[in-house]
Copies of this chain bind each other. A is one copy, B any other.
């Protein structure tokens, strides 16, 4: 068995449990039902600040003591939350400074959750103090396997405290006001600042005219960094507080996938392990679901993660809260495990009766008993996870292909005024990822800090912002034989969104062997075309008008005044190749393009499987586990390439045998 991320000897099974919402007689019934469902882990104390601390000086832990004791007596592991994601009402009344201010400048009142200004000293003081007190009180409970700081950190604040803190942050980053003026290009529109305290937060009352549309991208970009850092600072204060007392317990906070406001790649450096909450929409593709797991796994360079929350069936907050069809919960649970999760956890154990999440489903429904479809499905998974035991824990996926994803680049692209409001970074990521996923090519989602040498192919869609000497990293990678792929709107700016002059794609120009002279934004329903590998493909959104400077054209535009100009190019650079895709194309193109590159690089899928079956592999030092997930409603057959054992049914297979996957079925083959 490989490295463990927390102190559990199997894939953790359980989730958020809120006994404080119920009378004690219900608790005993819960314990009975948990056993039935093979639940072994509960996340406690997520939203109890107001009840733990009735006023500024008093703390009352009696109820939590009871709960902690009960779950320990029942053999449950605990992921202990610090309760700081929603401050008490009395605190908001006494110290209004802890309330957030909206993007439109309106000061909030008490309500909701994630409601605290991250730069409120009052909030910081009492949140940290509560974390310390919890650590002190429960340090001796050896069933605590992880700290869960706050909950789903997020939101933004535009209050006066934040404005002051922003100036301090800027001074630390840029030292002088002259440097601020330089990086923000304030000679534009007469924005020269003479003192730090002339600077105000960029929002709807200052530099923005829409949520994501700013008049000064440099200011808005720094605000995004600052806001992410402010929240991170809150997280770190609590981290330090609990770590001081319980250094042996690993610490996390639950993330939310592609959550734009927080730079999770920076956050992950300060987390012992990463965990996240998975809430796909009814119309998300299988590939999109997989991508989120791979993003999270990439935050810690491939180390396993914790799936902290998923719903057993419905959510309450989507517009149309469709039921998870029979088998879908199990499929999604194993998809998480296949992509690196060492847990299967739910929000929530028992469905609440009041407020907005009462129609979010739970292991134990409003009817209160075990005779429900959902409870039966939960129980089946519980039984299976018991069978799996410690076998998969710590195992990793090994990928030869990486997709670069960078939060600051995301902010930069979408703050951009021009060339097209429809350009969305994650859309591009999804297009490339989907092509890889549908061919069952293991893929890592990596940050700019990641070492590239372990990959054969690095794809960096829309690498708009080339920070520091990241171009040098790519140059070295390609020189050494790597294959690099990038697209239109790449290489434009530095980390301050200042254009790199001299010709696009800036510092990537020599690697790619091209010069992009112009970029044409196509209005909706406009289209150009090119041929690639014998088929015609569409150009949409943006079309680069480029000149070859060493590269060869793999495809040219067929229409408009730039017919004949290159649209897809390949440049041999050192021992490697650098591809450039100068437009957004159709699904079929991405599929063919990825196929061609993988073939060139001799990269193979995790397994040869029919369409609709996902094949993912996790490996420890000794063993390999191949997950086959049939996402279709029909039976599928897979011919095995090696001898193996299916670990849920303990069936043995020989090379050449056929394994039959019923509709929405999962098999896990130990090779």
Contacts and interface: CB of A to CB of B under 8 A. Distances in A.
Interface size class of A (residues with CB under 8 A): 35 or more
Contacts of A420: 319-321
Contact of A352 (B47, B51, B185, B190): B185
A211 interface: no
Nearest to A105: B106
A9 interface: no
Contact of A106 (B21, B183, B205): B205
A331 to B, nearest CB: 14
Contacts of A90: 193-195, 198
A216 interface: yes
Interface stretch (A241-249, A300-308, A388-396, A497-505): A497-505
A515 B20 CA distance: 28
Given A323-B520, A355-B217, A111 B499 contact: no
Interface stretch (A269-277, A521-529, A619-627): A521-529
Contacts of A319: 420-422, 523
A634 to B, nearest CB: 14
A518 B323 contact: yes
A189 B355 contact: yes
Given A283-B523, A521-B321, A216 B355 contact: yes
A607 to B, nearest CB: 28
Contacts of A498: 353-354
A153 interface: no
A284 to B, nearest CB: 12
A372 interface: yes
Interface of A is mostly: loop
A354 B496 contact: yes
A49 interface: yes
| Residue among A47, A323, A365, A368 facing the most chain B CB atoms (10 A cut-off) | A323
A354 B523 contact: no
Contacts of A193: 89-90
Interface stretch (A140-148, A232-240, A411-419): A411-419
A199 interface: yes
30 contacts: A51-B190, A54-B194, A83-B190, A86-B191, A89-B193, A102-B205, A106-B205, A108-B205, A109-B201, A111-B216, A112-B207, A113-B215, A188-B352, A188-B357, A215-B356, A217-B356, A316-B418, A318-B418, A320-B421, A320-B524, A322-B520, A325-B561, A353-B499, A354-B496, A354-B497, A366-B501, A367-B502, A367-B503, A368-B503, A373-B517
Given A111-B205, A113-B189, A323-B545, 14 more contacts: A50-B186, A51-B192, A90-B194, A102-B205, A106-B204, A108-B206, A109-B206, A111-B207, A112-B189, A191-B355, A217-B355, A217-B356, A320-B422, A325-B560
Interface of A: 18, 20-21, 47-51, 54-55, 83, 86-90, 92-93, 102, 104-113, 183-195, 197-207, 209, 214-218, 282-283, 313-323, 325-326, 351-360, 365-368, 372-374, 416-422, 496-499, 501-504, 515, 517-524, 526, 545, 560-561
Q: For the complex of A and B, list the 5 residue pairs with the smallest distance between their C-beta atoms, beginning with the closest.
A: A185-B354, A111-B206, A359-B418, A316-B418, A50-B192
